């Protein structure tokens, strides 16, 4: 039998939904442990290279993390006329911070992650993700509950980016997907402020959380625009939402996006540009119908739960 025989390999099971599981061959287990808040693994897979796994779910991979992080950050950042102050909830790998700091206008990026152990592991084991963003003088890094931090701070922000783990029933992020939390965010945004949210899977058969997040944000903000990006390591289209009282990134043309990228971003992007922007905000009909039909509002008393 050859070494390539699948029966001789180690496998990681990523449970996508109750009816779908992905198997990734494991070439190396770089780290495995548990923090106060969640289980943590860093594994090298045959499918997507090194992956960060929290509570048994792939959070990002070295092969395609740029797709997710560029999609999460840049539509909102470029919709704002001159973003100087940015708040990041979560984002332990440091890649969201990396993308924020690529904007020349940014003077301060406040990142609040509840799990110091995960951030320290990512700093040590995932340098290609953060690319020394944690050491940038514009970065303020705090280890706390992001909701409590926003409730207590007197600061306001031009952009708020919510890059949280899935809302697992026993996980640390479940109450950061609710109407009450989004109302706190709205209060901490400047007059032309905008937020972006990672909003769970957004494709056929696994839409419930995505459409509920959109519905909830629409109950809080005048403008809430859903969009999607295909993230191969997630095996699905992934949902995002940009929400604001005044700014609508879906109205920006491809030419305007490319112009703003050229003027405002200090590096070459790998995935996101004007045409990509247009594609992301073009939601297929069957998903638009689900979005229109959804009446659910996520609350502290009735939160959502990921599989």
Mean pLDDT of all residues in 139-145: 97
Can you tell me the distance from the alpha carbon of 223 to that of 103, in angstroms, rounded to the nearest whole number? 23
* Topology (CATH level 3) of domain 65-293: Rossmann fold (3.40.50)
- Chain centroid offset of residue 198 CA: 4
Phi, psi of 288 (to 5 degrees): -60, -40
Residue 19's Cβ-count burial label (10 Å; 0-12, 13-18, 19+) is exposed
State the pLDDT confidence band at 17, using cuts at 50, 70 and 90: confident
Using alpha carbons, list the distances in angstroms from residue 266 to 56, 106, 263.
35, 11, 8
Can you tell me the distance from the alpha carbon of 226 to that of 217, in angstroms, rounded to the nearest whole number? 10
β-strand partners of 231: 236
pTM of the predicted model, to two decimals? 0.94
* Topology (CATH level 3) of domain 6-61: Spermidine Synthase; Chain: A, domain 2 (2.30.140)
Give the tens place of pLDDT for each residue, 94-119. Answer: 999 999 999 999 999 999 999 999 99
List the domain boundaries for the chain. 6-61, 65-293
Residue 125's Cβ-count burial label (10 Å; 0-12, 13-18, 19+) is middle
Which residues are within 8 A (CB) of 277 and not within 5 positions of it... i.e. 6 or more apart? 75, 249, 252, 254, 257
Give the tens place of pLDDT for each residue, 194-251. Answer: 999 999 999 878 899 999 999 999 999 999 999 999 999 999 899 999 999 999 999 9
pLDDT of 2: 44
Using alpha carbons, list the distances in angstroms from residue 260 to 161, 207, 278, 279.
19, 32, 15, 17
* 163 noted as active-site residue: yes
pLDDT of 1: 36
Instruction: Kindly name the residue from 14, 113, 158, 163 that is annotated as catalytic.
Output: 163
Region of 257 on the Ramachandran plot (φ > 0 left; ψ -120 to 50 alpha; else beta): alpha
Query: What are the respective helix, strand and coil percentages of the chain, to the nearest 5?
Result: 35, 30, 35
Segments of 154-210 assigned E as strands: 157-163, 189-201
């Amino acid at each position: 039998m050859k070494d390539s025989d699948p029966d001789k390999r180690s496998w990681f099971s990523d449970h996508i939904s109750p009816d779908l599981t992905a198997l990734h061959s494991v070439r190396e287990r770089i780290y495995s442990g548990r923090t106060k808040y969640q289980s943590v693994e860093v594994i090298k897979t045959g499918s997507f290279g090194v992956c960060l796994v929290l509570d048994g779910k792939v959070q990002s991979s070295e092969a395609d993390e740029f797709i997710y992080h560029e999609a999460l950050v840049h539509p909102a950042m470029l919709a704002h006329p001159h973003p100087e102050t940015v708040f990041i909830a979560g984002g332990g790998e440091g890649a969201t911070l990396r993308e924020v700091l690529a904007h020349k206008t940014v003077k301060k990026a406040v990142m609040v992650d509840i799990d110091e152990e995960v951030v320290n592991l990512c700093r040590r084991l995932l340098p290609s993700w953060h690319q020394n963003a944690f050491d940038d003088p514009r970065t303020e890094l705090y280890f706390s509950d992001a909701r409590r931090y926003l409730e207590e701070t007197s600061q306001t922000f031009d952009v708020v980016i919510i890059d949280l783990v899935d809302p697992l029933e026993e996980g640390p992020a479940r109450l950061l997907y609710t109407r009450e939390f989004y109302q706190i965010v709205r209060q901490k945004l400047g007059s032309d402020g905008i937020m972006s949210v990672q909003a769970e899977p957004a494709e056929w058969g696994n839409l419930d959380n995505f459409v509920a997040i959109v519905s909830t944000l629409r109950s809080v903000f005048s403008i809430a625009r859903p969009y999607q990006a295909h993230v191969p390591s997630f095996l699905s289209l992934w949902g995002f939402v940009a929400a604001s009282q005044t700014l609508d990134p879906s109205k920006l043309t491809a030419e305007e996006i490319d112009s703003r990228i050229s003027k405002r971003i200090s590096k070459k992007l790998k995935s996101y540009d004007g045409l990509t922007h247009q594609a992301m905000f073009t939601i297929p009909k069957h998903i638009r119908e689900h979005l229109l039909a959804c009446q659910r509002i996520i609350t502290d008393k009735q939160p959502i739960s990921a599989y």
